[in-house]
A and B are shown apart, each in its own frame.
Chain A
């Protein structure tokens, strides 16, 4: 389904949360347009390594007491792997859950990996909020988009 139509349709169901919209977007392809024939089931998705490549050397990425701060919050719920990336690409920083995890947990892990990468590469996490904007009527579609944008740090394919 095309994106604008998805949003319009989704706006009908104002109860729909932004995270759900984002997850749907990910599978919003025209049939046959680049969709892989097999998708991870929930168990496989939880167990999968989620990886960011960071442009620092492996010894700059902590693995024990000094794991990057956003990942440290997960304590022993996650396993962390640090390996050199090929060529001049730096270091692959991977994490995965040891046990069961919800979609929300996976979203938190995505966000933590992204923040860890930014801390390692630039030293701080880029902020966008609060952003100034003008007057807004609370339309269902606007609310939905707001919620989708709020969820966006935790969304995506990572």
Chain B
């Protein structure tokens, strides 16, 4: 079959690879209908997660049609249209039964690397390096989906591929950020990053009843989307002093909830960016955490900070004093999608959650290298590049 693979830092290729096969009784094989780039892939492309092997198939957000099902699969039949959570979870361990699916004990059968680096291993993820299980990704004609009864969800007829695709990762990730930060009426929420993840966190905050939701980024076209499709306010951090603006818009208190949806390659105007980049290049710190620092600094006393952006290792200049003295609660997680996807599909069916606008560039899989370049460089108003293997 055809697949888009990681070939090295900033290098994506389209090549032929063997078809996947059923390996466990609870697997299904999907014919991929649509698969989309994610900010998380940029960390792989940038070489910041050094466990990719040339030839590994990329992609972890996808929708497809079941073409083969293992004997233990109960909920899916050949022909079903399903959307799949990007994180692989068993549904049976203590973490899964407590809805912390991305922490599943049985989703990554090769936990040696992650245990060594983080002390404990999270679950597995499609197309996300040999650290997270070495599973093949979705930028291909076909993909194997383990624990299919737990991770794959039938898409209601009324919901288009283009909309349901985002129920795989960015929508549940954003929803989790708002839900686990206990966003509700009376809250002012600030979100760093107007990519798909940040937009979904902002939309979830609106739907959960927050009084004010403000999204921060520097790309005008992304902030326009926030105003038009998400129903939230915006701040362009290249034109405005973010901290002063947030204080003014929140009665001097600071936001009750700060959600970071930027990740380890955060950009900063000014000297700190240079400092962070040099340290990252020298591997003195592995990650650039500037949006997290800002979120902690501006958050109201006793407020909640949620880190949705992906980080891999060490950060520098972490404002621990502000965390401690302001009594902040910090939470984070890889997405527990299995917990949120059913509700997200319902909201999509009721037209309360719309995601089509995120798919700014739709192209055949052959053009994946170009799609990744546009997504990375934020060219031509790109928010997400979607690939259609059959296109």
A positions within 8 Å CB-CB of B:
2-5, 7, 22-23, 25-26, 28, 30, 33, 53, 55, 88-90, 114, 117-118, 121-137, 139, 142, 145-146, 148-149, 151-158
Contacts and interface: CB of A to CB of B under 8 A. Distances in A.
B242 interface: no
A127 B23 contact: yes
A28 B50 CA distance: 14
B314 interface: yes
B16 A148 contact: no
Contact of B136 (A88, A89, A133, A135): A133
Interface residues of B, number: 58
B146 A126 contact: yes
A55 B92 contact: yes
B74 interface: no
B115 A122 contact: no
B90 A121 contact: yes
Contacts, number: 161
A56 B389 CA distance: 42
B107 interface: yes
Contact of A145 (B25, B53, B109): B53
Given A121-B106, A127-B24, A134 B112 contact: no
Contact of A152 (B90, B111, B146): B111
Contact of A121 (B20, B56, B93): B93
Given A23-B116, A132-B57, A133-B5, 16 more contacts: A5-B283, A7-B50, A22-B112, A55-B97, A117-B105, A118-B90, A118-B109, A121-B90, A126-B106, A126-B124, A128-B133, A132-B19, A146-B53, A148-B113, A155-B112, A155-B113
Contacts of B13: 134
Contacts of A133: 5, 17, 53, 55-57, 136
A156 B120 CA distance: 8
A22 B94 contact: no
Nearest to A143: B53
Interface of B: 1, 3, 5, 7, 13, 15-20, 23-26, 47-48, 50-51, 53-57, 72, 90, 92-94, 97, 105-107, 109-117, 119-121, 124, 130, 133-136, 146-147, 283-284, 286, 313-314
A71 to B, nearest CB: 17
A25 B113 contact: yes
A88 B95 CA distance: 11
Contacts of B117: 3, 25, 28
Contacts of A114: 109, 111
B106 A4 contact: no
A131 B109 contact: no
A156 B112 contact: yes
Contacts of B313: 2-3
Contacts of A88: 94
